[in-house]
Chains A and B, each alone.
Chain A
């Protein structure tokens, strides 16, 4: 299915103005979608600029201690449970704590939004079965309703409140102010869930190598896990023009799948592509590239740092008690469970 493959081709495609995230610009929709992920150009830049301040390194550094505590508590609970699933008992609590705190979601909504985030898992997959599609869409609508009710009560806070202020000032539409918190919540849940899941899967599969890397180059370990596992596999773009589409000619309106996985495994750039190389910092496209590069990169790295530190303290024999089953989607893949055998 991916039509654009390879390091150079994918990086070029992700910066190509002839490929858009907005189906309207490709002649496929009458209106601009009310979704940050499916916008482009100035409206996209403007909305992104409102979200970005919540995900800067400087702002997120204040979350480091909280994530460390969440991580240590969750790990302690998981290791005491003979039936533990490290995805549910360790990774998810870190991810939810991080994204809900980063967005400054009020405490009263956190538990419900956590459940709804779980129900949104797979929202962007193009081939979900009907019941799963219904579950993800309903969860997204229910989450939007929670934010909308907060607004009507005058209780919007954090990122949501800033977006509502921007809408009141005419900078963005009211619909974007309502939908964007849920788009950010979904992205800030599903992407790091897969990223941290891959990291944990590596730790339980190869505890010795994991610990060596955790001790010697923890930041590189996280980046190389993203490159080799490539939890975000593909991104969709639509052609706005007729022209060169990389490996084939494209026509306006064509859907083009860009394979981040192929870019991260391109043997012309990474000679032993499947192997981690901790000797140097290498680029990858695990966070995407170009105008839509992941907004939550700094948060994901912070979460990864906390998790690496916690997992490095677990004895090898304990880590080896766990085994991983995988969830493979067209857009993303990651561990479904990391269960104690």
Chain B
């Protein structure tokens, strides 16, 4: 069970990485992406970030939805709560787990 959970965590992070490269291009999103990587532009010099704007984030969410089938309910979108890749991964992981086990699983 723990192994499956780890695989899902890794797959979600890979999915976010692929989507970020698609949305922002390899120059911005091609480096290391970890759960601590910020989603938005940061005023902290040297801080790791994807430099997304709100429209980039939505494009990223829809790309992951199409490519991986992990659908975030529209009313879960919360720009203020999502500050890092880890925040987004948490929501996507929950979606991936519920969609891999199916209803009642």
Is A141's CB within 8 Å of the partner chain B?
yes
Contact status B77-A138, CB under 8 Å: yes
Contact status B62-A145, CB under 8 Å: yes
Residues 62-74 of B, flagged 1 when their CB comes within 8 A of A and 0 if not, give 1001100000001
Contact status B79-A144, CB under 8 Å: no
- Neighbour of A138 across the interface among B59, B62, B78, CB < 8 A: B78
Contact status B62-A141, CB under 8 Å: no
- Specify which chain B residues have a CB less than 8 angstroms from the CB of A142 in the assembled complex: 74-75, 77
Instruction: State the majority secondary structure of interface residues on B.
Output: helix
Q: How far is the CA of A112 from the CA of B79 in the complex (A)?
A: 19
Q: Given A175-B55, A178-B55, A179-B55, do A141 and B77 touch, yes or no (CB 8 Å)?
A: yes
Is A293's CB within 8 Å of the partner chain B?
no
Stretch at the interface among A146-154, A273-281, A303-311: A146-154
Residues 151-179 of A, flagged 1 when their CB comes within 8 A of B and 0 if not, give 01000000000000000000000010011
- Neighbour of A144 across the interface among B55, B65, B78, CB < 8 A: B55
Contact status B58-A178, CB under 8 Å: yes
Contact status B54-A148, CB under 8 Å: no
Q: Given A134-B80, A148-B59, do A141 and B54 touch, yes or no (CB 8 Å)?
A: yes
Is B7's CB within 8 Å of the partner chain A?
no
A216 to nearest B CB, angstroms?
48
Is B12's CB within 8 Å of the partner chain A?
no
Q: Given A152-B62, A152-B66, do A145 and B55 touch, yes or no (CB 8 Å)?
A: no
- Specify which chain B residues have a CB less than 8 angstroms from the CB of A138 in the assembled complex: 77-80
Q: How far is the CA of A145 from the CA of B54 in the complex (A)?
A: 10
Is B61's CB within 8 Å of the partner chain A?
yes
Contact status A145-B53, CB under 8 Å: no
B88 to nearest A CB, angstroms?
13
Q: How far is the CA of A45 from the CA of B57 in the complex (A)?
A: 27
Residues 17-61 of B, flagged 1 when their CB comes within 8 A of A and 0 if not, give 000000000000000000000000000000000000111011101
- Specify which chain A residues have a CB less than 8 angstroms from the CB of B59 in the assembled complex: 148, 178
Q: How far is the CA of A151 from the CA of B37 in the complex (A)?
A: 29
Q: How far is the CA of A40 from the CA of B5 in the complex (A)?
A: 50
Which A1-50 residues have C-beta < 8 A from chain B? 34
Is A137's CB within 8 Å of the partner chain B?
yes
- Neighbour of A137 across the interface among B62, B65, B79, CB < 8 A: B79
- Specify which chain B residues have a CB less than 8 angstroms from the CB of A152 in the assembled complex: 62, 65-66
Q: How far is the CA of A34 from the CA of B59 in the complex (A)?
A: 14
Residues 117-153 of A, flagged 1 when their CB comes within 8 A of B and 0 if not, give 0000000000000000010011011101110110010
Which residue of chain B has the shortest Cβ distance to A153 in the bound complex?
B66
Contact status B58-A144, CB under 8 Å: yes
Q: How far is the CA of A116 from the CA of B12 in the complex (A)?
A: 29
Which residue of chain A has the shortest Cβ distance to B54 in the bound complex?
A141
- Specify which chain A residues have a CB less than 8 angstroms from the CB of B77 in the assembled complex: 138, 141-142, 145
- Specify which chain B residues have a CB less than 8 angstroms from the CB of A34 in the assembled complex: 53, 55
Q: How far is the CA of A146 from the CA of B77 in the complex (A)?
A: 11
Which residue of chain B has the shortest Cβ distance to A139 in the bound complex?
B77
- Specify which chain A residues have a CB less than 8 angstroms from the CB of B79 in the assembled complex: 134, 137-138, 141
Contact status B54-A137, CB under 8 Å: yes
Residue in A112, A138, A146, A179 with the greatest tally of chain B CB atoms within 10 Å: A138
Residue in B77, B78, B79 with the greatest tally of chain A CB atoms within 10 Å: B77
A134 to nearest B CB, angstroms?
5
- Specify which chain B residues have a CB less than 8 angstroms from the CB of A145 in the assembled complex: 58, 61-62, 74, 77
- Specify which chain A residues have a CB less than 8 angstroms from the CB of B65 in the assembled complex: 149, 152
Q: How far is the CA of A134 from the CA of B79 in the complex (A)?
A: 8
Q: How far is the CA of A144 from the CA of B80 in the complex (A)?
A: 16
Q: How far is the CA of A141 from the CA of B40 in the complex (A)?
A: 15
Top 3 A-B pairs, shortest CB-CB distance: A175-B55, A134-B80, A142-B74
Known contacts A112-B74, A144-B55, then 15 further A-B pairs from the complex at CB < 8 Å, ordered by chain A residue: A34-B55, A134-B78, A138-B77, A138-B78, A141-B54, A141-B79, A142-B74, A142-B75, A144-B58, A148-B62, A149-B65, A152-B65, A178-B55, A178-B59, A179-B55
8 contacts between A and B (CB under 8 A): A137-B54, A141-B79, A144-B54, A144-B55, A145-B74, A152-B65, A175-B55, A179-B55
